[in-house]
Amino acid sequence: MAKKKKPRKKRKSKKKQSLALLFARLGLLAGIWTGVAVFFYILYCAVDLPDVHQATQPPLRPSVELEAKDGTVFARYGDLVGEPVVLSSLPDYVPEAILAIEDRRFYDHFGIDIFGIARAMARNLMAGHTVQGGSTLTQQLAKNLFLTPKRAIKRKVQEMLLALWLEHEYTKDQILTAYLNRVYLGSGAYGIDAAAQTYFNKSARELNIREAALIAGLLRAPSRYSPLHDPVQAFERSKIVMRAMVEEGYITEDQQRDAVATAPKIERKITSGNSERYFADWVYDKLGPLISDTRQDMVVRTTLDISLERLAEKHVQDILSKQGQAKNVTEAALVTLAPNGEVRALTGGRSYRTSQYNRATQSHRQPGSAFKPIVYLTAIEQGLTPDELIRDEPFRIGGYSPENYDGKYRGAITARTALAQSINTVAVRLLDRAGIGKVIETAKDLGIASPLKRNAALALGASEVTPLELAAAYASIASGGRAIEPYAIAQIRTRSGKLIYRHPDVRPPQVKDADAVATLTDMMKDVLLYGTGKTAKLGTRPAAGKTGTTSDYRDAWFAGFTADYTTVVWMGNDDNAPMKKVTGGSLPALLWHNYMLEAEANLPEEGLKSNSIAEQFLDAAGAVTEDVSKAFSSFIDSILGGEAP
């Protein structure tokens, strides 16, 4: 008789089945809830998606490119955007270079490349770190147009959703065209045409294979592979792109060899100096009132002389590095003006990379005795002569009692010697004699815009000014009493060449008596010959100037001019800490001397301006002739339609 199966075993089998069923149900339930969670998370990510219809609109990211006086591009602000391109206008190898290195399956996927993602994951696992991404061109376009670079799951999900949406709304050619017009390609260039203009000074339609490959190679790391920064690495990267183009059948091996044999010529190079950034920032801030349409790319021709700017930077760095620490001086500023007011050099500090604060234009510091020529000019206009004797002795004016730097008093002294030796008591006496109001009026006429205190200490430069303001005042003296207004923008044009603004070429008005200014200039020569500014003397070259030192050695200045340039030097500390006995006649005068000697090296020696009454008549006659000539030229330009009024 057969034995019956034990019921216990059956119960165990049923129990196993029930557990398997339970796990299956739990797994199904978990999957459902996971799917629901994923669905709602996708909905959450989709809530704030932007409108993809912006994708094909032309980019509006205008740039401002700054050129030096000689046309050298030295700075760029904003984004450079070229002419919008269409695929049919480009050589086939231009978009193919990008497809070969960035998205070979572009015309085969639906916005998300599953195979590309799998391939990238496999390579990243083998390498142990991220070496390849799986994003398609459509995803890159979505990210560049609508999303931030922040790495986050939500952003990646939104990127994929936008890519699917773009693929649904637009054709592949439209997406590729938008990508070519919007992608960032380094050095401030957005779009293939802007990159072609930036690196090769040509349209994207004129690119050759090597140039197209170089631009395509920028996509991986625009700053790193920019030919403006590292041409060798950029060219090596372009070879990788061309190999990929051969693999895809876009070009032949013979075309690759020919392209590699001829390295592209980089036409446009932005200088990478330090100190011209101070000048660039200052100019950029002044553009607003001069332009009405801010949507266009602009090219601004400035008055900057790159060679002078680099020279100023070199000498500032040299003197501070050698003597700054020992003398407890950490900063300096230098401004150079041409006789017509063009700012040829402007160094706002020791290092722009360390501090962007522009001490030449923003820092208000007491000029000390560098203000005295303004007092003397006012007194000369009222009858003071260089040989007039004035008492150098203790006295009080109101509650103020001026003291000389050396604590000594010389008795009767000529005005010429008092200025050369920077005698404080004489300057205060002349201020009292000429009238504080008249001195302030003279300062304003010469270009000092900062408010000046109405007290006796004004004679000793107790009111703050900027180095640029003081340069304007000294340039006005150098011009024979004409109001010289510093300017840095010569003209502004659109990238297509249309003139937007041109600095008016007008003769500065005569604001001070020319004979009085000539007398003052003659007295200021003695400051360099035997006075406090002997260190600044330029050999046999005629020059005039004045030293300036404030209380406790917190500021030290030398301001002076030749027939060619007016230059002002300031030295001190941002925290107003005292220097170690640095006077205007020491380090600032030395810096001025070293810089000006090299700046004037190839220029003929000319006498300083001395406008007599007869010379004023001749100048006036010449000015009338010049103005008539300019008016006629402007009339012809307006007829031809090439210039703005």
Instruction: List the catalytic residues.
Output: 102, 369
Residue from 187, 484, 157, 140 nearest 343 by CA: 484
Cα–Cα distance measured from residue 296 to residue 589, given in angstroms and rounded to the nearest whole number: 45
Which alpha helices (DSSP H) does 218-305 contain, by range?
231-247, 253-261, 276-285
Helix (H) or strand (E) holding 336: strand 331-337
- What are the residues whose beta carbons fall under 8 Å from the beta carbon of 370, sequence distance 6 or more? 461, 470, 546, 547, 548, 557, 558, 559, 584
Cα–Cα distance measured from residue 513 to residue 384, given in angstroms and rounded to the nearest whole number: 13
Angle between helices 153-169 and 7-47 (to 10 degrees): 70
Please list the residues that pair with 494 across neighbouring strands: 298
| SS3 labels along 451-490 | CCCCCHHHHHCCCCECHHHHHHHHHHHHCCCECCCCECEE
DSSP string over 362-400: T--B--GGGGHHHHHHHHHHTT--TT-EEEES---BTTB
Cα–Cα distance measured from residue 536 to residue 202, given in angstroms and rounded to the nearest whole number: 48
Please list the residues that pair with 557 across neighbouring strands: 548, 570
Residue from 334, 308, 322 nearest 558 by CA: 334
Angle between helices 613-640 and 514-529 (to 10 degrees): 110
Cα–Cα distance measured from residue 8 to residue 6, given in angstroms and rounded to the nearest whole number: 5
Helix (H) or strand (E) holding 74: strand 73-78
Angle at 289 between CA 283 and CA 295, to 5 degrees: 90
DSSP string over 481-537: SB----B-EEEEEETT--EEEE----PPPB-S-HHHHHHHHHHHHHHHHTSTTGGG-
- What are the residues whose beta carbons fall under 8 Å from the beta carbon of 511, sequence distance 6 or more? 445, 446, 476, 481, 482, 483
Cα–Cα distance measured from residue 111 to residue 117, given in angstroms and rounded to the nearest whole number: 12
> If you ran DSSP here, which 8-state letter would residue 107 be given?
T
**Torsion over CA: 283, 288, 292, 295 (sign):** positive
Three-state DSSP state, 335: strand
